[in-house]
């Protein structure tokens, strides 16, 4: 690894820290949180006419939904990453074993 590559990796990391869009799930969770917070605040206001309380309701809903969406999204991501890893392992094993005596296909076919 030469100097230039190291520099680029460093810059990418900096960008990563700066840019919210680069963090997986962050953008969707922010957007969902903001819109549902606004919606909940306005709805609460329409039903009760309490201005200060509806602001706190909106803020709370925003916080809860942002965090909830983020964790849910990361959970889904990790699940699918796990599935992908299992699939990759299965595919590599299959390619390694194909044509050898340990080929599971042989057993399955009953040859």
Partner 1 sequence: MLARTVSASARRALRPQLGFRTDFRSSVVLPMAQKRNASQSAPSWLIDVFESPPVVFAEQTLTKIHELSGLPWWASIVISTIGIRVFVTFPLAIYSEANLAKLASLEPEAREINQILKEDTVLAKHKFNLTEQQATKLYRINLKKQMGLLIERNNCHPAKSFFLSLFQIPVWVSLSFALRDMAFAGKYGVYEYMSMSTEGIFWAKNLIHPDPFLILPVMTAVMNLTNTELYQLKSNLPRSKFLKIFHNFSRVASVIVIPVGLVMPSAACLYWFCSASTATGQQLILLSPRFRRLVRIPPSPKEDPTPYSTIWSNFQSRILRRGK
CA distances from 82 to 77, 79, 87, 92 (A): 8, 5, 9, 15
CA distances from 76 to 15, 69, 80, 81, 82 (A): 25, 10, 6, 8, 10
Q: For residues 53 and 80, which CB has a smaller minimum distance to partner 1 in the complex?
A: 53
Q: Give the footprint of partner 1 on this chain (CB under 8 A).
A: 42, 45-51
Q: For residues 42 and 90, which CB has a smaller minimum distance to partner 1 in the complex?
A: 42
CB of 28 to partner 1, least distance (A): 14
CA–CA separation, 9 vs 105, rounded Å?
43
CB of 6 to partner 1, least distance (A): 34
Q: For residues 43 and 106, which CB has a smaller minimum distance to partner 1 in the complex?
A: 43
CB of 84 to partner 1, least distance (A): 28
């Amino acid at each position: 690894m030469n100097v230039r590559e190291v520099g680029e990796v460093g810059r990418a990391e900096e960008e990563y820290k700066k840019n919210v869009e680069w963090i997986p799930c962050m953008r969707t969770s922010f957007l969902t949180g903001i819109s549902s917070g606004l919606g909940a605040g306005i709805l609460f206001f329409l039903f009760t006419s309490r201005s200060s309380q509806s602001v706190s309701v909106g803020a709370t809903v925003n916080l809860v939904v942002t965090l909830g969406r983020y964790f849910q999204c990361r959970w889904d991501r990790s699940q699918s990453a796990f599935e992908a890893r299992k699939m990759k392992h299965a595919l590599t094993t299959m390619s390694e074993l194909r044509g050898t005596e340990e080929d599971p296909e042989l057993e399955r076919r009953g040859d």
